[in-house]
Amino acid sequence: MTTLTEIENPAAAGPAAPRRGRRFDARRVRWWRGGVLGVLAVYFVVPLAATFWFTVYDARNHQFSLSPYGQIFSASGFGPSVWMTFQVALLTIVILYVLLVPAMIAAHLHLPRLKPVLESLAMVPLVLSPVALVVGVDTVLGWGTDQDPGTPLFQLSVDLRNASLPLILPIVYVLIALPFAYRALEAGLRAVDLRTLVEASRGLGASWPVTIWRAVLPNLRSGLLSGAILTLALVFGEYTISSILQFLPFSVWVVQDGQGATSGQLAPAVSLLSLLLSWAVLFLVSFLGGRRAVGRINRSS
Amino acid sequence: MIRFGKKLGAWGAVLPLLGYCAIALGLPIWALLWEGLHATDPVTQQTSVSLSNLTASWHGIYLTGLLDSLRLSLLSAVISAILGLVAAYAIAQSRGRILKQAILTASGVLANFGGIPLAFCFIATIGTGGVFQSWIQHVWPSFQLGTFSGIEVVYPYFLLPLMVLTTLPALDGLRTQWKEASANLGGSAWQYWRHVGGPLLLPSALGGFVLCFGSAFAAYATAQALTSGSVPLVTMQINAVLSGNVIANQNNLGMALAVNTIVICGLMMAVYLPLRKRSAKWLES
């Protein structure tokens, strides 16, 4: 609601207050704003544009070609590593939401005092060094394999490190993705009137699972979707943890095998493609979702 | 009785998450502490509790690495926090919804764009053979991407969006009415920022700064790919020690180094949480 009044107020106040000082002020502010955003836009766009140029232009032969983007798909090892990373990402998203969605809904509805705890918990992975975390994980797995073969703990450690689908990766990635997923979900929860929604559904006789599945989740769609996309992008780009644990998901494959094949053009091409794709999808989702949410507020007021 | 049942059900929904974090986060940290506080005697092969690893991790090259890491994170966090705050203010003030959405989603993507892909982008831009390499050699002759200053140029690329993400809610929460009220009471723009806007923003701005600092300190892959280990940051030292690149059988020293980073991470959170609480107080009202 606050955003609505904010958006409307300056527009309404602008023409209604034709004092000279104020108008000058506004223009100066706008100029300053444009300057800052312009400089930052240069800083953020130039490396991406340069990377694109680097991938399509062959300086030695003075030739343009989009071939690095085509070669991504035919390079050896591409298929298995992408498939493995995709499975890991999917598992991460499922575990993340199974844990996070009920907890956040419950905290919003019944345990408001727990919200700061959850929020701080979700911030921890942001400042915790992934190197330290993975070293700890490696040690714990090492304790498992120190047991006698055949014992459950030994078997568990071995299964977690299975090279074709290492289950330890989603377990760790859930932690790494927590801050971003939490933020996306929190934004989604804030935009809907959760209490009314749940009370209406419960009042009409729906059970808790039905309420969550058919009343709450559809309203959180855009938050859930953007959290999932961020997690997907994160898993596809993650290098530290998987390389130290010596697995070969997509990101590690790009660095190891991709570089030799095409004079170093493949790796930047992949990075650029994944960044732009995830941004484009995220933008579309938030744009469509945002418009629906605004429409809903207007109708209710 | 009904209220009690509701509370119980709510706890049932929250506990799996807390339990998961306790295991997935707690076990590795416990393992690090345990191994870092144990040393194996080279002669007798007896493992015993000792502080020798921790002491070693505070001396010599490891102290240099730690200080370098702190210096690097402090500098990049200051740059990113100031620029990020200004950028977030500019974004909060802009009325174009599409622009705002585009920048917000881009921040979300870029804030976790750290790591190898980011390093590739900058290598392709101003690294050896990069598109703008000759230009940057001309403007800043001593610049090298694989050094301290190189990392300093690259880090804001993911820290700045993080700062925007953390401070934008607070900036969006600054209501125009407050500014108008201050103006009606005869306050100047400076007085507004000094007595109203500034104090309201300070907690989330400082919180954003702490997060930037922490995530610069924690970063590993970008620096590794850019410098190939020539700038000794603590995260790179951990990996170097553990993979046996320096001296063999120094595993517990690596654990002790990791413990150091966790202690620093804990300090970050200890600073961040009270700030977060303060800014949440009025944001959620």
pLDDT at A61 over 80: no
For residue A259, the model assigns a pLDDT of: 53
Residue A293 binned pLDDT confidence (cut-offs 50, 70, 90):
very low
Residue showing tokens 């607070």: B170
Q: What are the chain B neighbours of A99 within 8 Å (beta carbons)?
A: 16-17, 20
pLDDT number for residue A25: 53
Helix (H, G, I), strand (E, B) or coil at B184: helix
Residue B266 has pLDDT above 60, yes or no: yes
Superfamily name with CATH number, domain B49-283: MetI-like (1.10.3720.10)
Percent over 90 (pLDDT), chain A: 9
Q: What is the pLDDT of residue B106?
A: 87
Asked if B120 has any chain A CB less than 8 Å from its own CB, the reply is yes
Interface of B with A in 144-183 (CB under 8 A): 156-157, 160, 162, 165, 172-173, 175-177
Q: What is the ipTM of this complex?
A: 0.82
* Confidence at A300, pLDDT banded by 50, 70, 90: very low
Mean pLDDT along residues A149-177: 85
Determine contact: A1 vs chain B, CB below 8 A: no
Contact: A282, B105; criterion CB under 8 Å:
yes
- Specify the pLDDT at position A29: 60
**A173 against B123, higher pLDDT:** A173
pLDDT at A12: 39
Question: Tokens representing A19?
Answer: 């004092």
Residues B240-259, mean pLDDT to the nearest whole number: 74
Q: Which residues of B166-205 are buried (b: 16+ CB within 10 A; e: fewer)?
A: bbbbbbbbbeeeebeebeeeebeeeebbeebbeebbebbb
pLDDT at A14: 39
Tell me what the mean pLDDT of segment A209-213 comes to: 86
Tell if the CB–CB gap between B175 and A106 is shorter than 8 Å: no
pLDDT at A78: 78
Residue holding tokens 């809904």?
A: A105
Round to whole Å and give the CA distance between B164 and B103: 9
Instruction: Convert the pLDDT of each residue in B29-70 to its tens digit.
Output: 998 888 888 777 666 666 777 777 777 778 788 888 889 899
Say which residue, B238 or B96, is predicted with more confidence: B238
Structure confidence at residue A21 (pLDDT): 43
A43 and B CB contact within 8 Å: yes
Contact B217 A127 (CB under 8 A): yes
Is the pLDDT confidence value at A3 over 70? Answer: no
Q: Chain B residues with CB inside 8 Å of A128's CB? A: 25, 218, 262, 265
C-beta atoms of B121 and A272 within 8 A: yes
pLDDT confidence of residue B284? 60
Q: Is B39 helix (H, G, I), strand (E, B) or coil?
A: strand
Confidence of residue B218 (pLDDT cuts 50, 70, 90): confident
Q: What average pLDDT does chain B have?
A: 83
Q: Calculate how close chain B gets to A163, using CA atoms only, in Å.
A: 19
Q: What is the pLDDT of residues B157-205, one digit of tens each?
A: 999 998 998 888 788 877 788 888 888 888 888 888 888 888 888 888 8
A94 touches chain B (CB under 8 A): no
- Beta-carbon separation of A180 and B242 below 8 A: no
| pLDDT at residue A6, rounded to an integer | 37
Q: pLDDT digit string (tens) for A82-97?
A: 889 889 999 999 999 9
Asked if the C-beta of A41 comes within 8 angstroms of chain B's C-beta atoms, the answer is: no
Using CA coordinates, name the residue in chain B closest to A243: B221
B250 contacts in A (CB within 8 Å)?
none
Task: For chain A, positions 169-228, list CB contacts with chain B under 8 A.
Answer: 171-172, 174-175, 180, 183-184, 208, 226
pLDDT value at B86 more than 60: yes
Give the count of alpha carbons within 13 A of A222, CB side only: 21
d(CA B15, CA A163): 31
What pLDDT is stored for residue A87 in this prediction?
92
Chain A residues inside the 8 Å CB shell of B17: 99-100, 103, 118, 121
B109 → closest Cβ in A135, A270, A279: A279
Q: How confident is the model at residue B113 (pLDDT cuts 50, 70, 90)?
A: confident
Two tokens, residue B271: 């600073």
User: What's the pLDDT tens digit per position in A111-139?
Assistant: 888 888 888 888 888 888 888 898 888 88
Cα–Cα separations (whole angstroms), residue B101 to A39, A60, A232, B75 = 19, 40, 20, 29
**What is the number of alpha carbons within 13 Å of residue A41 lying toward its C-beta?**
11
Q: Does A120 contact chain B (CB < 8 Å)?
A: yes
A254 and chain B: CB distance < 8 Å anywhere?
A: yes
Q: Would you say residue A99 has pLDDT above 70?
A: yes
- The region of weakest confidence among A70-74, A213-217, A262-266, B232-236 is A262-266
| Pairwise CB contact (< 8 Å): A271 & B121 | yes
Q: CATH number for the A77-300 domain, one of 1.20.120.1460, 1.10.3720.10, 3.40.50.1820, 2.30.30.240? A: 1.10.3720.10
* Cα A200 to Cα A223: distance, rounded to the nearest angstrom: 22
pLDDT value at residue B76:
94
Q: What is the mean pLDDT of chain A?
A: 78
Q: How much is the average pLDDT of A23-37? A: 67
